[in-house]
Structure 1
Amino acid sequence: MGDIALVDIGSSRVKWQVRSPDGDVTGSGATREPAGCVRALASMAQASPLTAVWVSRVTGDRGLEFSGELAAAGLGAAVHAVQAVAVGPNGLHSDYAVGQLGVDRYCALVAARACGDTPVIVVDAGTAVTVDVLHADGQHAGGYLLPGRQLGWEALQPRLADRIAPREASQWPEDLDPAPGLNSADALERGWGLGLAGALDGLIARSRTDLGEPAACWLTGGDAYWLAPLLREEARIVPNLVLDGLWELSRWDDAVCAG
């Protein structure tokens, strides 16, 4: 068994890792476009051929673009596009509506479940912010969806276009100033950022109460480092939960095939 590639195609970024059969990360990166990820994987494959590519992908053009670029690169690796299922590895079970649980959320839950019989609240801060609640026995209790910081900006900015300019995700400051804004752009940035953090604090606290036992909160996604200092509830940043979940799924698939 050779190296495998793990690829998370999100709405804004494509994150990837290459891992050895033992799980050691031998390469990693992030690009805005799927083509950049494929070029990086093709370059690494020249030194050590890839035997498989495991992909968590959004629906639509970005997923199709990645598939086309990968086929054109001629890597010769088996491609596994993950889908969320009701019963996953290590006793993970979800009653979420069929076809509606995002594959990135599913992979993050797989990664959380792989860490043992412990309750976990998974917050993925990306284009959308998702909160998923996992019981100690592996039952997914469901979750919550909120617009992320960029989506929140984009929802209101057009209505205030005479005083607030459009903003790309790359234009956000690294840290949020919590002081009241003295112009509409600052007021929106700070109001939405603190409001999002407040909403998440409430959801995390409620989920911990509903679980009925102490639960860790794992924070992942592109905005995790921006969001973490704004939260009052205790949370730990786990940067690559989706990729970790893809790795667990690749091992589970091998076990299923072997059985």
Structure 2
Amino acid sequence: MRLLVDVGNTAVKVATELQGEIVLINEAQVPWHKIDEVLIAQVGSNEDLTPILQQAQSHQVPYLFASVSPTLGALKCAYAEFKNLGIDRWLTVVASFHLFPNQACVIVDSGTATKVDVLDATGQHQGGWILPGLDMMIDSLVANTQKVFSDTHTLFDTKLGTNTPNAVKNAALSATVALAERAVTQMGEKVQLIYAGGYGELIQQHLDPKGIYFDDLVMQGLIYWRKYQQND
């Protein structure tokens, strides 16, 4: 059994994986006596990861940090400076490449930041965009303007706002949806839309419900990434 660890900017997600089945759990639920290996995708703080590494060391369980490479099998990274691509983005691309072989994909991963990545049907990563996540957009706007405010109970939508919280929240969502739509349009072909992250399902509702949401896309990418390391 493996332990999969996704260290994001605001949270750490952990899951067990056995024979391809991923089960999201809390850190307190990790069955360390059954874990053979820990796979880690890290973009967040080392402090968030320290307790897990200490447990792995105390149980003598090896751990590996996933990394970006210019190629991974038939998959090719768009970045010439490939090490500058965030590992979370790379793993969502890796997962999408294997989950939807020979299909062009647009990946919308929205949490603290929103990342939009594009993959063509041949396995060439085309690149992507990063913009502030919905909460960050709102917080920045409210903090740097006068008489602009939001609240915690107004729902996100893409309609024109009829009050200030509506206008703020709906603009953040509309801007995010429009960016993803532009990625789809630029591909000029049929694409598979893939959603991930805390706001992934919300964007799915307003962009294209026929796309597929994954709450473990980075985790799936870790599994596929590891297979290539074992074959080297």
Which category of TM-score, normalised to the shorter sequence, fits these structures? Answer: 0.7 to 0.9
Give the drift of 1:158: 0.8
Q: Tell me, yes or no, if the aligned pair for 2:196 and 2:214 is still in contact at 8 Å.
A: yes
Please say if 1:85 is aligned against 2:82: no
Q: Where does residue 8 of structure 1 map in the other structure?
A: 6
Aligned mate of 1:196, from 169, 176, 201: 176
Equivalent AA in structure 2 for residue 222 of structure 1: G
Give the drift of 1:125: 1.2
**Match of 1:70, SS?**
helix
Q: Where does residue 250 of structure 1 map in the other structure?
A: 226
Q: Where does residue 33 of structure 1 map in the other structure?
A: none
Q: Tell me, yes or no, if the aligned pair for 1:205 and 1:233 is still in contact at 8 Å.
A: no
- What's the CA shift string for 1:39-89, capped at 9, x where partnerless? 332xx224xx21111011115xx2x1244212332232111111111111x
Aligned mate of 1:45, from 28, 32, 35: 32
Q: Where does residue 222 of structure 1 map in the other structure?
A: 198
Give distance in 2, aligned partners of 1:12 and 1:225.
18
Give the drift of 1:183: 3.2
Q: Tell me, yes or no, if the aligned pair for 1:228 and 1:235 is still in contact at 8 Å.
A: yes
Give distance in 2, aligned partners of 1:55 and 1:114.
19
Give distance in 1, aligned partners of 2:208 and 2:91.
26
Identify unmatched segments of 5+ residues in structure 2: none
Q: Tell me, yes or no, if the aligned pair for 1:120 and 1:216 is still in contact at 8 Å.
A: yes
CA 1:128/1:252 → structure 2, altered by over 3 Å: closer, same or farther? same
Aligned mate of 1:105, from 82, 86, 89: 89
Kindly report the root-mean-square deviation, in angstroms, between the aligned alpha carbons of the 2 structures: 2.3
Give the drift of 1:110: 0.9
Q: Where does residue 68 of structure 1 map in the other structure?
A: 50
Q: Tell me, yes or no, if the aligned pair for 2:195 and 2:211 is still in contact at 8 Å.
A: yes
- What's the CA shift string for 1:165-209, capped at 9, x where partnerless? 6x7xxx476x52444434322321122212321232122222x21
**Match of 1:85, SS?**
coil
Please say if 1:95 is aligned against 2:78: yes
Give distance in 2, aligned partners of 1:159 and 1:183.
19
**Match of 1:254, SS?**
helix
**Match of 1:55, SS?**
strand
When the two structures are superposed, what TM-score results if normalisation uses the length of structure 1? 0.79
Give distance in 2, aligned partners of 1:72 and 1:172.
40
| Equivalent pairs, count | 228
Identify unmatched segments of 5+ residues in structure 1: 31-36
Give distance in 1, aligned partners of 2:53 and 2:84.
28
Equivalent AA in structure 1 for residue 37 of structure 2: A
CA 1:71/1:192 → structure 2, altered by over 3 Å: closer, same or farther? closer
Aligned mate of 2:134, from 131, 149, 153: 149
**Match of 1:218, SS?**
strand
Give distance in 1, aligned partners of 2:104 and 2:161.
38
Greater than 6 Å deviation, 4+ residue runs: none
Give distance in 1, aligned partners of 2:103 and 2:174.
30
Q: Where does residue 241 of structure 1 map in the other structure?
A: 217
CA 1:161/1:57 → structure 2, altered by over 3 Å: closer, same or farther? farther
